[in-house]
């Protein structure tokens, strides 16, 4: 049953329909309630404190020895990390990053140097991450960085601004690292961590696709995109900030800090800038300009929401009118229905787990019916425009 539902976010975009407003629940709902009242509506929902009973919630917290725990459990694993040149803001689309293999122990070492952990960095070395960069710029622990990875030409004039392997390690982001991959179980790199996760009861009968591990050593931002599956995003450590008016709270990640490894560093603390999730319904697609369907990033928006070029994307001017944001504190979970665009901001040392599963609609969509489905949807859209013929004119 629905319990402790909060009021709808007052700061949601002016054009967000009441039926699409974010809902809040205390803990996870029963399987019956989720299947009858939440999932069919395809509307996001926050489950407050839902994963606080996970072993991961107690064991992975960086402030409580979580990094050492992860190092012991999976430190020897080699995972794919995203490497971006756009730090401190990390854009997760394919245009702005490349994937590189990195030993998890190396990534954890960089996390330990974050001032949030109370460590000091002096001018004599890089402490635990000294192994990342060798004398010739190569790295045994970070394969591909400084060893001919395709990051563009390096000229003499660029030498002073080209990041070293140590600096590049700051821009790494562990995104979608498989804990469980149903289609490729051998590719479940961090499978041993599954023992720390308690499968929500309402998902036990769902066609699960994958369970993934997410972690950043410094603040990051994903590009605006949608997922082809239902998504349950669980915050194990860290928190997310949203528009809705809520009582001010203290985040586990209390500062955004740009850390230069191997140099004297005097941290300039800023006000908490926690993780945020901005959400748009599929009906707002026309304001977000999705990438072409024939490309590798077809589920990503072409628009930089924070710095829109209205000469290229004039309708983007109205995109925030159709958006809403959510706060997720450590222990909370967010249901993001398939097709909903979202952008996620993460503060330093945020750890999350997401679970993807196939929706009932997609599970029952027969391939031989595709032409009919497409025609039916097209007719429905045409009919809608005939009823409201001025809709597109207003926003063009």
Angle between helices 104-112 and 66-74 (to 10 degrees): 170
Taking only the tens place, the pLDDT of each residue in 297-323 is 899 999 988 888 999 999 999 999 999
Gap between the Cα atoms of 42 and 73, Å rounded: 36
Confidence grade of residue 151 (pLDDT, cut at 50, 70, 90): very low
Q: 299 and 351 in one domain?
A: yes
Burial class (CB in 10 A: 0-12, 13-18, 19+), 250: exposed
Q: 222 and 159 in one domain?
A: yes
Structure letter (DSSP) for residue 9 = P
Taking only the tens place, the pLDDT of each residue in 263-279 is 332 333 233 334 689 99
Do you find a cis peptide bond into 88, omega within 30 degrees of 0?
yes
Considering only residues 203 and 91, tell me which one the structure prediction assigns the higher pLDDT.
Answer: 203
Going from the C-alpha of 319 to that of each of 4, 90, 224, 226, the distances in angstroms are: 30, 21, 12, 15
Q: Give the chain's length.
A: 396
Residue 162 lies in a domain: yes
Taking only the tens place, the pLDDT of each residue in 155-164 is 333 333 344 4
Residue 179 lies in a domain: yes
* Total tally of structural domains belonging to the chain: 2
Residue 345 lies in a domain: yes
The residue behind tokens 């013929």 is 389
Residue 1 lies in a domain: no
The CATH number linked to 117 is 2.60.120.650
Q: 307 and 235 in one domain?
A: yes
Q: What is the dihedral of CA 26, 363, 214, 161, to 10 degrees?
A: -130
Taking only the tens place, the pLDDT of each residue in 4-51 is 444 344 457 889 999 999 999 999 999 999 999 999 999 999 999 999
Residue 104 lies in a domain: yes
Q: 228 and 89 in one domain?
A: yes
Predicted pLDDT of residue 95: 64
Q: 257 and 203 in one domain?
A: yes
Residue 341 lies in a domain: yes
The residue behind tokens 């490894």 is 261
Residue 396 CB: number of other CB atoms within 10 A?
A: 8
End-to-end alpha carbon distance in the chain: 43
Taking only the tens place, the pLDDT of each residue in 60-98 is 999 899 999 999 999 999 999 988 776 656 665 566 677
Predicted pLDDT of residue 239: 53
Q: 249 and 378 in one domain?
A: no
Q: 125 and 43 in one domain?
A: yes
Gap between the Cα atoms of 300 and 226, Å rounded: 7
Residue 27 lies in a domain: yes
Q: 304 and 387 in one domain?
A: no
Query: Nearest CA to 253 among 330, 176, 352?
Result: 330
**Sign of the four-CA dihedral 94, 98, 101, 103:** negative
- The region of weakest confidence among 95-104, 129-138, 198-207, 227-236 is 129-138
Are 345 and 221 in contact, with CB atoms under 8 Å apart?
yes
Taking only the tens place, the pLDDT of each residue in 92-146 is 556 667 789 999 999 999 999 888 887 644 433 344 444 443 333 334 444 433 3
Q: 269 and 340 in one domain?
A: yes
Query: Nearest CA to 152 among 83, 62, 68?
Result: 83
Q: 320 and 211 in one domain?
A: yes
Parent domain of 312? 18-363
Q: 143 and 120 in one domain?
A: yes
Q: 303 and 194 in one domain?
A: yes
> Which helix (H) or strand (E) covers residue 32, if one does?
helix 31-33
Residue 254 lies in a domain: yes
């Amino acid at each position: 049953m629905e319990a402790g539902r909060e009021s709808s976010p007052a700061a949601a975009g002016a054009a967000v329909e009441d039926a699409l407003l974010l809902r809040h629940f205390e803990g996870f709902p029963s399987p019956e309630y989720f299947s009858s009242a939440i999932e069919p509506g395809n509307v996001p929902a926050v489950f407050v404190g839902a994963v606080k009973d996970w072993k991961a919630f107690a064991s992975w917290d960086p402030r409580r020895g979580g990094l050492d725990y992860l190092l012991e459990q999976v430190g020897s694993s080699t995972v794919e990390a995203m490497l971006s040149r756009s730090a401190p803001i990390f854009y997760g689309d394919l245009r702005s990053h490349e994937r590189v293999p990195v030993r998890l122990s190396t990534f954890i070492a960089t996390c330990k140097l974050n001032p949030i952990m109370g460590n000091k960095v002096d001018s004599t070395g890089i402490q635990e991450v000294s192994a990342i960069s060798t004398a010739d710029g190569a790295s045994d622990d970070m394969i591909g960085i400084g060893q001919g990875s395709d990051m563009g030409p390096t000229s003499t004039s660029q030498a002073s601004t080209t990041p070293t392997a140590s600096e590049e390690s700051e821009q790494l982001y562990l995104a979608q690292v498989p804990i469980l991959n149903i289609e490729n179980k051998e590719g479940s790199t961090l499978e041993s961590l599954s023992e720390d996760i308690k499968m929500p009861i309402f998902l036990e009968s769902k066609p699960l696709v994958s369970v993934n591990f997410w972690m950043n050593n410094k603040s990051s931002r994903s590009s605006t995109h949608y997922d082809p599956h239902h998504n349950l995003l669980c915050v194990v450590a860290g928190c997310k900030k949203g528009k809705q008016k809520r009582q001010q709270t203290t985040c586990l990640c209390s500062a955004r800090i740009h850390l230069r490894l191997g140099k004297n560093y005097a941290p300039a603390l800023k006000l908490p800038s926690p993780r945020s999730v901005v959400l748009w319904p599929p009906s707002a697609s026309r304001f977000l300009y999705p990438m072409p369907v024939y490309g590798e990033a077809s589920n990503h928006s072409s628009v930089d929401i924070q710095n829109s070029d209205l000469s290229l994307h004039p309708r983007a001017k109205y995109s925030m009118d159709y958006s809403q944001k959510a706060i997720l504190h450590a222990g909370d979970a967010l249901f993001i229905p398939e097709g909903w665009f979202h952008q996620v901001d993460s503060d330093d040392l945020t750890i999350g787990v997401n679970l993807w599963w196939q929706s009932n609609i997609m599970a029952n969509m027969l391939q031989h019916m595709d032409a009919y489905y497409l025609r039916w949807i097209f007719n429905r859209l045409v009919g809608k425009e005939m009823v409201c013929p001025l809709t597109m004119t207003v926003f063009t």
